[in-house]
C-alpha cells in the first residue's frame, strides 16, 4: 500500500500524530495489518478488514465493541478501538473498511511455545478471557463467519468434494480420505453432548496471544471471530499450537510432537484463571484436542479435492500436505488421550 494512502486513511480517525511511520506486520491470515508509529514510538494497529470473509463488517464491529467493554482487568490488558471522526469504530476509504486500535506497548507474540511458562500463561489468559465474557448475552452477538468451527458443515463440504473431485486427486489423497472417514463418526459425537454455548474467540492459535518480554500473558488479539461457540473450540485450537513445539503449518512430521509437560502447564494455567467449567465440559476436553486440528485438516483436504480454489497455495500439493500434518496432530491427540485425561482430571475435576 502506498504511504500516501495510509496517511489518508489515518486522517479519517480522531488522532493527532506528528511524524508518522508505518510498517506491515504479520497478524493472522485474513486482514492486512500495519503498525503505526509517531516519532518512532509504536502507538496504533491499523487493519484493513477483508470484507470477502467478513461480509457483515458492521455486525463484526458491534461484537468487538461489546466484547472490549468487558475485556479489561488488572490482569488482562485492555485494547481500545479508535473512533473515526464520525464516531464510528471503522472507516471506509476507496471502498475498503479500515479499523484503528491501540497498540499494546512492549508486547510480543510467539508462533510456538519454547518453555512451560508460555504454556501456563496461555492457559491462564484464555481462562481470564472466558471469565470476563461469561455474563455476556449471546443474543447480542452476530455470527461473523457462519459455520466457522462447525464440524458437521465441514463434513458436508468434504463429502460434496468427494463426489466432484478428479480421480487423480482422490488417488493422491486416499490415505487422508480414509483417516477422515474413520475419525469423523467419533468426532461428530461432540455435537450430541448438550454442551453450553459460550462467547468464544474461535481462533486461539498461539500467535493470537500477546505476552510481555518476560512471557507473562497480556491478552488475546484478532477478535474478529468473537461469536458464540463452544469453549472446546478455543481450548483445542490453543492446545494444537502450544504442545507441538513447531510453527503452525509445519509440514515436516518429524518436527511435530506432543509435549505433555507443556500440556500440563497449560492446564495448570487454566486452573489458575478460576474459570468455572461444568463437569460435562471438562469431560469432553480431551476430545477437543483432536477435534480442532482435525477440522483444520479436513478443510485443507476439501480444498485440495476441490482443486485449491479457496486457499492460496505455493504448489499444487500444499493443501494435501497441510492436511497430512494436521491429521497427524489430531492423531497425536488420540494417542496421548490417556495422559491428557489424567492431567485434566488431576487439576480440573
- Residue-level pLDDT at 296: 96
The 8 Å CB, 24+ separation contacts for 135-138 are 135/70, 136/66, 136/67, 136/70, 136/199, 138/197, 138/198, 138/199, 138/228
Is the separation of the CB atoms in 119 and 242 below 8 Å?
A: yes
- Is 341 domain-assigned? yes
- Residue-level pLDDT at 31: 63
Distance CA 60, CA 68 (A): 12
- Is 110 domain-assigned? no
99: which strand partners?
47
Q: What is the dihedral of CA 304, 309, 315, 316, to 10 degrees?
A: 40
Same domain (yes/no): 26, 78: yes
Distance CA 244, CA 199 (A): 26
- Residue-level pLDDT at 251: 77
- Residue-level pLDDT at 124: 99
**Which helix (H) or strand (E) element contains residue 294?**
helix 285-305
Domain end (from 71, 102, 133): 102
Same domain (yes/no): 64, 173: no
Same domain (yes/no): 124, 249: yes
Is the separation of the CB atoms in 33 and 27 below 8 Å?
A: yes
Same domain (yes/no): 77, 120: no
Give the single-character DSSP code of 310. Answer: S
Same domain (yes/no): 76, 146: no
- Is 195 domain-assigned? yes
Is the separation of the CB atoms in 145 and 290 below 8 Å?
A: no
Distance CA 339, CA 239 (A): 14
Domain count, the chain: 2
Residues present in the chain in total: 349
Phi, psi of 273 (to 5 degrees): -75, -15
Same domain (yes/no): 170, 194: yes
pTM of the model: 0.94
Which residue bears the cell 472507516?
91
- Residue-level pLDDT at 269: 99
- Is 13 domain-assigned? yes
Q: What is the dihedral of CA 218, 223, 229, 234, to 10 degrees?
A: -40
Distance CA 302, CA 323 (A): 9
Same domain (yes/no): 29, 167: no
For residue 21, count CB atoms less than 10 angstroms from its CB and return exposed for 0-12, middle for 13-18, buried for 19 or more: middle
- Nearest Cα neighbor of 299 from 309, 287, 284 is 309
Q: Which three cell numbers stand for residue 345?
A: 482430571
- Is 107 domain-assigned? no
Distance CA 168, CA 305 (A): 10
3-state secondary structure of 195: coil
Domain of 28, CATH number, reads 3.30.200.20
Distance CA 174, CA 14 (A): 55
- Is 164 domain-assigned? yes
Distance CA 188, CA 98 (A): 38
Same domain (yes/no): 66, 177: no
Report the relative pairing of strands 20-25 and 41-49 from DSSP bridges.
unpaired
Same domain (yes/no): 296, 161: yes
Distance CA 14, CA 132 (A): 28
Its domain, for residue 273, covers 116-348
- Residue-level pLDDT at 195: 97
Give the single-character DSSP code of 83. Answer: P
Distance CA 103, CA 228 (A): 26
Same domain (yes/no): 169, 279: yes
- Is 299 domain-assigned? yes
Which residues of the chain are under the pLDDT cut of 70? 1, 3, 26-31, 310-311
- Residue-level pLDDT at 78: 97
- Residue-level pLDDT at 311: 65
Domain end (from 53, 77, 102): 102
- Nearest Cα neighbor of 220 from 336, 342, 85, 104 is 104
Same domain (yes/no): 194, 325: yes
Amino acid at each position: 500500500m502506498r504511504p500516501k494512502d495510509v496517511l489518508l486513511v489515518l486522517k479519517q480517525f480522531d488522532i493527532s500524530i506528528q511524524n508518522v511511520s508505518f510498517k506491515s506486520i504479520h497478524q493472522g491470515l485474513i486482514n492486512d495489518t500495519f503498525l503505526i508509529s509517531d516519532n518512532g514510538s509504536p502507538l496504533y494497529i491499523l487493519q484493513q478488514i477483508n470484507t470477502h470473509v467478513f461480509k457483515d463488517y458492521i455486525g463484526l464491529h458491534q461484537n468487538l465493541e461489546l466484547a472490549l467493554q468487558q475485556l479489561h482487568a488488572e490482569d488482562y490488558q485492555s485494547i481500545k478501538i479508535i473512533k473515526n471522526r464520525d464516531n464510528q469504530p471503522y472507516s471506509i476509504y476507496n471502498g475498503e473498511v479500515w479499523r484503528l486500535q491501540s497498540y499494546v506497548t512492549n508486547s510480543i507474540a510467539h508462533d510456538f511455545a519454547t518453555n512451560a511458562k508460555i504454556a501456563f500463561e496461555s492457559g491462564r489468559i484464555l481462562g481470564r478471557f472466558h471469565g470476563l465474557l461469561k455474563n455476556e448475552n449471546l443474543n447480542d452477538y452476530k455470527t461473523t463467519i457462519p459455520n466457522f468451527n462447525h464440524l458437521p458443515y465441514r463434513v458436508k463440504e468434504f463429502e460434496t468434494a468427494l463426489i466432484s473431485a478428479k480421480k487423480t486427486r482422490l488417488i493422491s489423497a486416499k490415505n487422508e480420505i480414509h483417516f477422515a472417514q474413520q475419525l469423523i463418526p467419533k468426532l461428530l459425537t461432540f455435537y450430541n453432548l448438550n454442551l453450553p454455548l459460550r462467547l468464544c474467540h474461535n481462533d486461539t492459535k498461539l500467535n493470537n496471544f500477546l505476552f510481555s518480554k518476560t512471557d507473562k500473558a497480556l491478552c488475546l488479539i484478532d477478535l474478529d471471530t468473537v461469536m458464540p461457540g463452544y469453549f472446546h473450540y478455543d481450548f483445542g485450537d490453543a492446545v494444537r499450537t502450544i504442545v507441538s513445539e513447531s510453527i503452525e503449518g509445519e509440514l515436516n512430521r518429524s518436527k511435530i510432537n506432543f509435549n505433555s509437560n507443556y500440556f500440563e502447564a497449560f492446564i495448570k494455567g487454566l486452573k489458575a484463571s478460576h474459570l468455572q467449567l461444568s463437569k460435562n465440559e471438562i469431560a469432553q476436553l480431551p476430545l477437543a484436542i483432536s477435534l480442532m486440528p482435525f477440522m483444520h485438516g479436513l478443510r485443507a483436504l476439501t480444498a485440495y479435492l476441490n482443486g485449491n480454489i479457496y486457499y492460496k497455495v505455493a504448489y499444487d500439493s500444499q493443501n494435501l500436505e497441510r492436511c497430512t500434518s494436521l491429521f497427524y496432530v489430531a492423531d497425536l491427540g488420540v494417542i496421548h488421550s490417556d495422559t491428557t485425561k489424567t492431567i485434566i482430571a488431576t487439576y480440573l475435576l
